[in-house]
Amino acid sequence: MSTRPAATRKPRARSQARIDTILDAARALLAAEGVAGLSIYSVAKRAQIPAASVYHFFASVPALLQALTADVHAAFRAAIEAPIEHDSLKQWRDLSAVVEQRMLSIYAYDAVARQLILTQHGLTEVTQADRQHDLELGDLMLAVFNRHFEVPPLPDDVDVFALALELSDRVYARSVHQHGRITPRMAEEGMRVFDAYVGLYLPQYLPKRGLIAGKPAPTF
């Protein structure tokens, strides 16, 4: 799912092609130069289109960045929802390790993900969009955990998995700030932070769900 850009109807093919061109140019500039190197005019120049065409779809740089943030989180959602071999999971920490490794892989190859999520760009709109997406990712994480394990009731007033994701991102952000990348050591620490926080609400061992036709039993 992507929020490119907000509209009441799906863009026509020609408009969608122009939107993709704009966002590809913005992505390339962001990866190469960071947020500081991004402007409507630099994106237009990179995309080889008039600036008015960029403004037609994106009224500002934050609007561009919000669309790119949505794309990054779409990749995270796909990583969480991708199939996981049920028999390989002995405890819930095995499941969290699989998902966190997938998300670390996205950070490793996608400079835009690192720029938008793990660096301090000072753009309130992007930060707010990221936090909203984190809530969605947290809900997905809970659903995946429930698919494989019998998760006990969690508090209604705390988004446990969303907070765990945000806390691990803080560790990854520190690594990017200090080293320009997520080092193996800090990747390990981020995963430990995730498990430590989730472990405040989950017992050390959770019963695994049985299999129905080779798939985890559904929850009701």
pLDDT digits 0-9 by tens, 150-204: 999 999 999 999 999 999 999 999 999 999 999 999 999 999 999 999 999 999 9
Q: What percent of the chain has pLDDT over 90?
A: 68
pLDDT digits 0-9 by tens, 6-16: 444 556 777 88
Long-range (24+ apart) CB contacts under 8 A made by 9-14 are none
CATH of range 13-59; options 3.30.470.10, 3.30.2320.30, 1.10.3720.10, 1.10.10.60: 1.10.10.60
Contact 186, 172 (CB under 8 A): yes
Residue 174 parent element (H or E): helix 160-179
pLDDT of residue 219: 55
Cα 128 to chain center, whole Å?
A: 13
Helices 40-47 and 61-81 meet at what angle, rounded to 10?
70
Q: What is the pLDDT along the chain (220 residues), one digit of tens a residue?
A: 344 444 445 567 778 889 999 999 999 998 888 888 889 999 999 999 999 999 999 999 988 988 998 899 999 999 999 999 999 999 999 999 999 999 999 999 999 999 888 987 667 777 777 788 889 999 999 999 999 999 999 999 999 999 999 999 999 999 999 999 999 999 999 999 999 999 999 999 999 998 644 566 555 4
What radius of gyration, in Å, describes the C-alpha atoms of the chain? 19
Determine the Cα–Cα distance for residues 213 and 146; give it in Å rounded to an integer: 18
